[in-house]
Structure 1
Amino acid sequence: MTASIPQFSDEELQEICNISDVISCECPAYLVGLLREVRKFRQYTANCPQEDPQAVEIHQWLAGETMRIDRLMSEIIYEFMQRENLLDENGQLVLKRLSDRSYAAALKQQEYDELNP
């Protein structure tokens, strides 16, 4: 794993969800869903009313902990994409590989359907 894990954009996360159909596995979509929930919670805590010093301290702690979870989830997703050979040498999602796999999966399904009417 590289030292610098990318911060996935919403668009990249959606592309990763789309991979589930190609690799016949829901794991990418589940991982992305977890990461999105962590980010939503982090945003929620940032906007929580913090009227007393103890609340400020707790919310700062929560912010730090959710950042750690965000980084860990991003690392897991990144390594998953590496293992599925869907990243280039710079660690970027390669949509061409994804579309090639999608096309191959569609052809395989078509062949199966033709042989099993």
Structure 2
Amino acid sequence: MMKLALLGDSYPSQVRVNPRALGELDVVWVGQSRETFFREVPRLRPQVLALDFMDLTQVPTELIPGMLESTGARHALISYRLPHAPLIDALRSPRVSFLRGPVPLSLLHLRVHQSLDDLKRAGMPPSQGPAGRAPRFSPEQLGRLMELSTQEGCECASQLARLVGGLRGFREYTAGCEPHDEKDQRLHELLDRQMARAREALEEGLVALLEHEHIRL
């Protein structure tokens, strides 16, 4: 059964009023808070994310890749009222699709299956969960750290947060690459593993630094 997580202002009431509209899809989480999403959804391991935003100009570029990486989801279906072409152009890939909202659950059900069919046609494997440990920091936390200076103007936390965010962005970019052959596929799998290891090492250093500086997020 396909696991689905929904984030949006109207999704909780839609699911409450019409719980059968999503058919056989297993709704493992539905909510409105991004912070709660990052706290609760990664351990649920949904295969598809349905993310509804009012205004895409207010969505940080790293937010959606961070949600995909932290949950290991195969696809994110993004609905919106007000578009933002640079964000759409930057993120559209076999793993991220966009449609104008609000979206009735019956249409969402259809689009989820269409998106998964598109992934199969693109030759992407059934599961693309992240290698290694789930990220320790949400995009919002990394964003706050990038603006932080600690004692005596030290910007180590800011620089480490920037490196972690860069590695996460690179992994998300390579996830959209289409391998030309088996050798190319193996190379991208190697890159994915190495990026995961590098991210984990940097995150451990960042955790140690935050503890040393008594910084709480």
After TM superposition, the score normalised by the length of structure 2 is 0.36
Counterpart for residue 213 of structure 2: 84
In 2, the alpha carbon distance for the partners of 1:79 and 1:17 equals 16
Deviates more, 1:11-20 or 1:32-41: 11-20
CA apart distance, 1:5:
9.0
The one-letter code sitting in structure 1 at the alignment partner of 2:193 is: G
1:1-117 matches, within 5 Å, as 7-20=136-149, 22-23=150-151, 24-87=153-216, 93=217
The one-letter code sitting in structure 1 at the alignment partner of 2:140 is: E
- Greater strand share, structure number: 2
CA apart distance, 1:59:
0.4
- Greater helix share, structure number: 1
Percent identical residues: 30
In 2, the alpha carbon distance for the partners of 1:26 and 1:17 equals 8
CA apart distance, 1:55:
0.6
SS in 2 for 1:19: coil
Could you say if the C-alpha distance between residues 27 and 70 of structure 1 is closer, same or farther in structure 2, counting changes exceeding 3 Å?
same
Could you say if the C-alpha distance between residues 38 and 48 of structure 1 is closer, same or farther in structure 2, counting changes exceeding 3 Å?
same
For structure 2, list consecutive stretches of 5 or more residues without a partner in the other structure. Answer: 1-132
CA apart distance, 1:75:
0.5
CA apart distance, 1:74:
0.7
RMSD, matched Cα: 1.9
In 2, the alpha carbon distance for the partners of 1:40 and 1:68 equals 14
1:5-52 deviation per Cα after TM superposition (whole angstroms, max 9, x unaligned): 9610011112222321x5311211111111111111111111112020
For structure 1, list consecutive stretches of 5 or more residues without a partner in the other structure. Answer: 88-92, 94-117
In 2, the alpha carbon distance for the partners of 1:56 and 1:45 equals 11
Runs of 4+ off more than 3 Å: none
Higher relative contact order (Cα pairs below 8 Å, separated by 6+ residues):
1
